[in-house]
């Protein structure tokens, strides 16, 4: 996905994501906000067909929107480009599959539209961007495992309160990133990239830390182990990176993340699969809930799985996909309360349980307090800020 400092050019059109402007030549094209968001999403995902659920999640935050409302926005996006539903030169609908942007797109740098965060390190604190690690297993199905590993490393780094951590997900990160450009666009000093290879019961994590200003490699290493050592490997990567960034860092800062929520590797694998399904599509949430429940069956006190199971129940009821809303409400409350009993100092468990319980009519002030507690534990926790804001709204 293009960053805010990039203009997407196709034909005589220019789509400026940062300024939220669509231009035809020098003329500014008037588009309503949702139509702009939909158009930007389609252009940025031009390498594939996107489903209705993809569009609803990206543009409407997963809220239920009628088929006619979505069609109206698509037609408005076509009109803004001089396209129509018959020709479909640029925005093409594929029956029973989805929609794809068909134009040839060139990304043009726009230094004048640098994002506000660009004042690099104005507070003098170290900052790092974590790129998605490459899946070296040769099996696309292992992508969920790689993403889960990276998320654990990000979590460990985020516990270092003076370190600003920015994570680029697989969809938004460039395929062949220019490290200096990433550092410039995001205003960070360092970039961490790497790969994960999983073969049978063995795992190898490689990582390299790069100075974003000079492109110099500051650190590179690999860590081998069995699936039984996977949590130790994650901590070693996070501790090594943090140690290079700030030599005076006490190892205890990242060691705090070693209090793992489960010792059952099958439960952990089920959890990662379920988490990936939840993020992929609203239609996958029933399957994600089933996998979370399998993980909970193996480890009844697995806090993250309990909290995400509660979120699954909340989303099923919210989205109107629940076959038995009353039962899912009761189940969601039970999972959330069990998650809080097992949460300890895990900010993710706290905010997920708080969101589910707030939706199911628990005391809103108490839930806001849980979100605030999560942010006190980890001020870098983006989901915590998001959910804290939702609860206050």
Task: Assess if residue 48 is contained within a domain.
Answer: yes
Which residue, of 231, 258, 285, is where some domain finishes? 258
User: Given CA atoms 103, 106, 108, 113 in this order, what sign does their dihedral have?
Assistant: positive
| Weakest mean pLDDT among 37-46, 260-269, 356-365, 367-376 | 260-269
Q: Which two tokens stand for residue 1?
A: 């996905």
pLDDT digits (tens, 9 = 90+) for 78-103: 999 988 878 888 999 998 889 999 98
Domain span at 22:
6-112
pLDDT digits (tens, 9 = 90+) for 197-230: 888 788 888 888 888 888 888 788 888 888 777 7
pLDDT of residue 173: 55
Task: Report the C-alpha dihedral over residues 141, 142, 143, 148, rounded to 10 degrees.
Answer: 140
Closest CA to 347 of 299, 393, 386: 386
- If one counts the domains in the chain, the total is 3
**250 and 285 share a domain?**
no
Q: Which helix (H) or strand (E) holds 248?
A: none
| Burial of 170 per CB tally in 10 Å (0-12, 13-18, 19+) | middle
Read off the CATH number of the domain in which 141 is found: 3.40.50.10070
**34 and 156 share a domain?**
no
Average pLDDT over residues 238-260: 53
Name 71's Cβ contacts closer than 8 Å, sequence gap at least 6: none
């Amino acid at each position: 996905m293009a960053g805010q400092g990039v203009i997407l050019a196709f034909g005589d059109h220019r789509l400026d994501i940062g300024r939220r402007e669509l231009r035809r030549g020098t003329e500014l094209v008037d588009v309503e906000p949702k139509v702009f968001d939909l158009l930007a999403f389609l252009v940025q995902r031009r390498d594939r067909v996107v489903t209705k659920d993809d569009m609803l999640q990206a543009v409407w935050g997963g809220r239920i929107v009628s088929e006619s409302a979505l069609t109206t926005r698509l037609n408005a996006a076509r009109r803004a480009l001089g396209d129509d539903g018959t020709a479909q030169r640029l925005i093409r609908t594929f029956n029973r599959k989805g929609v794809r942007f068909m134009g040839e797109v060139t990304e043009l740098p726009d230094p004048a539209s640098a994002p506000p965060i660009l004042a690099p390190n104005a507070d003098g604190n170290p900052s790092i961007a974590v790129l998605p690690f490459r899946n070296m297993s040769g099996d696309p199905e292992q992508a969920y495992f790689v993403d889960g590993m990276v998320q654990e490393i990000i979590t460990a780094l985020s516990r270092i309160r003076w370190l600003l951590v920015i994570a680029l997900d697989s969809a938004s990160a460039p395929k062949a990133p220019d490290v200096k450009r990433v550092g410039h666009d995001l205003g960070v000093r360092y970039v961490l990239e790497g790969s994960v290879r999983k073969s049978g019961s063995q795992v190898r994590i490689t990582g390299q830390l790069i100075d974003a200003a000079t492109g110099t490699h500051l650190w590179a290493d690999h860590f081998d182990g069995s699936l039984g050592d996977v949590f130790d490997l994650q901590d070693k990567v996070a501790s090594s990176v943090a140690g290079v960034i700030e030599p005076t860092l006490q190892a205890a800062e990242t060691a705090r993340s070693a209090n793992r929520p489960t010792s059952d590797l099958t439960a952990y694998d089920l959890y990662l699969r379920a988490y990936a399904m939840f993020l992929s599509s609203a239609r996958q949430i029933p399957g994600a809930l089933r996998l979370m429940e399998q993980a909970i069956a193996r480890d009844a006190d697995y806090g993250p799985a309990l909290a995400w199971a509660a979120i699954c129940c909340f989303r099923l009821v919210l989205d109107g996909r629940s076959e038995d809303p009353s039962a899912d409400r009761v189940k969601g409350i039970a999972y959330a309360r069990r998650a809080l009993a097992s949460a300890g100092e895990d900010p993710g468990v706290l905010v997920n349980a708080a969101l589910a319980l707030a939706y199911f009519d628990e005391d809103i002030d108490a839930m806001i307090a849980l979100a605030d507690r999560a942010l006190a534990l980890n001020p870098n926790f983006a989901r915590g800020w998001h959910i804290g804001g939702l609860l206050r709204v």
